[in-house]
Amino acid sequence: MPNDFFQPLSDTQTPPGYNYFNGSSWVVGSSGKTNAITSPVDNSVVGSVPVVSTAEIDSILKKLKAAQPAWEATPLNQRVKLMHLVADWVKHHEEYLTALMVREIGKSVGEAKSEIIRTAELTDYFADEVQSIHGETVDSDNFPGYDKGRIAIIDRAAHGVVLCIAPFNYPVNLAASKIVPALLMGNTVLFKPPTQGALCGLHLARIFEKAGLPPDVFACVTGGGSQVGDYLVSHPLVDSVAFTGSSDTGVAIAGRAPMKPLLFECGGNNAAIVFPDADMALTAKEIVKGGFSYAGQRCTAIKYVLATQNIIDTLLPVVLEQMKTLVKVGDPRSPETKLVGPVISTEVAKTYQGWIDESVSRGAKVVCGGTHENAYMQPTILSGVAPDMPVVARELFGPVISFITITGMGEASAIINATRFGLQACVFTRDEGTGLQFAKSLNVGSVQVNGSPQRGPDHFPFLGVKQSGIGVQGVHYSLEAMSRLKSVVLNKPQ
């Protein structure tokens, strides 16, 4: 079944050459250029994807633009039905998509499977929630000097064409979390998957097509950031950009897309703050899961722990003990591997190794790990780290947790607030009042009390401040972000 379903995506060669979806059919790129995708699991080539040319992009965007008004005018109940079908197809292909994702990006079987199921559930939830998005009316006589002579009828309108750019770490879920609300709110969508993760993205695109979207409502183009990404974000026919990726890339895109509505989820570098009264077993478990799941390649991963030296002395042995049962580095296809498979490439592992080595040369101590083989990094804990060392100051998207010694809790908020990141932080204390109070001092999007940072449940607001994001996601919030207010004022002379 999956072979027939996904047959138009690629040729029959090994490794396969993939096509892209131009809005109505699957085609080989006209540029003749391709990007090979190498599995971080074993360095084998999984396939190659076209680098779509600028002429092809122009033609697709013109069609998406032309098709948008009719799509927005399509009754909502029909758009809802299509998205429920997307959810059904995602569920139907769970096993196939899971295996593909494990091979393409090195996510463990359990984590990949959970991403697929979460995507189906999220899509269904979006399709239900959109039905609670209503317009409103506002009377004029509330404002001083006005009588009842005007009424504003406020509705929600689509942006137009939304460019959705997904990251490699959630190539299906963080694609659907943009595409689905954009389509439901009446936008047409151009989807650009990450290069590593493009195969997952193309398979997801096939599911949108098969669910029955009309031609030129949705298209999916492949190519690297510098090859097609820069051209796409600055294209005059793109009305809005939804992006998840690093803060450096987010800043660059924002610079190229002036005056466009942006919805960005960027780097996190999230801290855990441990109060003296914290439950050390719970804290250690959350730090291990929060820092090492999917090899630390989550924007919500814990990157550093802030505590006084006596707390660190108590906590670190508990963390190391928990690691024995919770973490096992290895091949993500093996059921024995726990939390830590490979990072996305050997090159990336080498870069992070350099940051670890530089931090150690400046005084950090390796408590465990600190080495890598190919793309497999040993789960690493460093102590005696300073906030300006590269392992903390840069976006280290790998299994590394740094312990920073502080003299008091005021210093913890000062360190967090001084960084360029502001996604989440977590506070561990048995006193919830202390947690709530301390949360107020942190300039981040969300603070977790007694739990590690995370996006879900997916209907909670999810946002970053500073260079960690723009706008708010989360089911209802994403639907709002994928649309704008449109006001019509009726003047009724009294």
| Catalytic machinery residues | 265
Closest CB to ligand G3H among 63 and 455?
455
- Binds ligand G3H by CB under 6 A, chosen from 63, 206, 298, 338: 298
- CA–CA distance, 485 with 186 (Å, rounded to integer): 13
For tokens 């950090």, what's the residue? 364
The CB-of-393 to ligand G3H minimum distance in angstroms stands at 19
Nearer to ligand G3H, 160 or 194 (CB): 194
Place of tokens 């439950």: 279
Among residues 300, 446, 448, 468, the one that binds ligand G3H under rule CB under 6 A = 300
Of 260 and 455, CB closest to ligand G3H:
455
Instruction: Identify residues 192-251 at the interface with ligand G3H (CB under 6 A).
Output: none
- In sequence order, which ranges of 93-240 are alpha helices (DSSP H)? 94-105, 109-129, 173-184, 198-211, 230-233
Minimum distance from residue 176 beta carbon to ligand G3H (Å): 12
State residue 93 phi and psi, 5-degree precision.
-100, 20
| Shortest spacing between CB 300 and ligand G3H, in angstroms | 4
Stretch that binds ligand G3H, among 139-147, 152-160, 295-303, 344-352 (CB under 6 A): 295-303
CB 103 to ligand G3H: min, Å = 20
Q: 């914290």: which residue's tokens?
A: 278
Residue 298 CB, shortest distance to ligand G3H, in Å, is 4
Q: Nearest approach, Cβ of 23 to ligand G3H (angstroms)?
A: 28
The nearest distance, CB 397 to ligand G3H, in angstroms, is: 9
Please choose, out of 65-73, 149-157, 230-238, 292-300, the segment that lies near ligand G3H by the rule CB under 6 A: 292-300
Residue 414: partners with Cβ closer than 8 Å, 6 or more residues away: none
SS3 183: helix
Alpha helices in 16-75 (DSSP H): 54-73
CB of 481 to ligand G3H, least distance (A): 15
Q: Which of 253, 299, 306, 343: binder of ligand G3H (CB under 6 A)?
A: 299
Contact by Cβ (8 Å): 113, 98: yes
Quick one: three-class SS letters along 84-115? Answer: HHHHHHHHHCHHHHHHHHHHHHCCCHHHHHHH
The pairing of beta strand 188-192 with beta strand 424-428: unpaired
- When the beta carbons of 300 and 322 are compared against ligand G3H, the nearer one is 300
Q: Of the two residues 186 and 245, which places its CB atom closer to ligand G3H in the complex? A: 245
Which residues are paired to 150 by β-bridges? 491
Non-local (6+) Cβ contacts of 180 within 8 A are 83, 86, 122, 123, 126, 127
Among residues 206 and 303, whose Cβ is nearest to ligand G3H?
Answer: 303
DSSP summary character for residue 379: P
Site string (163-182) toward ligand G3H, x via CB under 6 A: ------xx------------
# of chain residues touching ligand G3H (CB under 6 A): 9
Nearest to 423 by CA among 249, 264, 274: 264
**246-265 binders of ligand G3H (CB under 6 A):** 265
Interface mask (CB under 6 A) for ligand G3H, residues 445-474, using x and -? ---------xxx------------------
Answer yes or no whether residue 272 interacts with ligand G3H by CB under 6 A: no
Helix, strand or coil, per DSSP, at residue 32: coil
How far CA 260 is from CA of 71, 160, 240, 254, 308, in Å, comes to 21, 11, 5, 9, 45
Q: Which residues of 374-404 are buried (b: 16+ CB within 10 A; e: fewer)?
A: ebbbbbbbbbbbbbebbbbbbbbbbbbbbbb
285/362 with CB nearer ligand G3H: 285
**Measured from the CB atom, is 115 or 216 closer to ligand G3H?**
115
Cα(124)–Cα(121) distance, integer angstroms: 5
Q: How far is the CB of 267 from ligand G3H (least distance, A)?
A: 9
Q: Which helix (H) or strand (E) holds 250?
A: helix 247-256
Query: Based on CB atoms, which residue is closest to ligand G3H, 79 or 289?
Result: 289
**69 within 8 A of 116, measured Cβ to Cβ:** no
Q: Give the three-state DSSP class for 73.
A: helix
Q: Would you tell me which residues interact with ligand G3H (CB under 6 A)? A: 169-170, 265, 298-300, 454-456
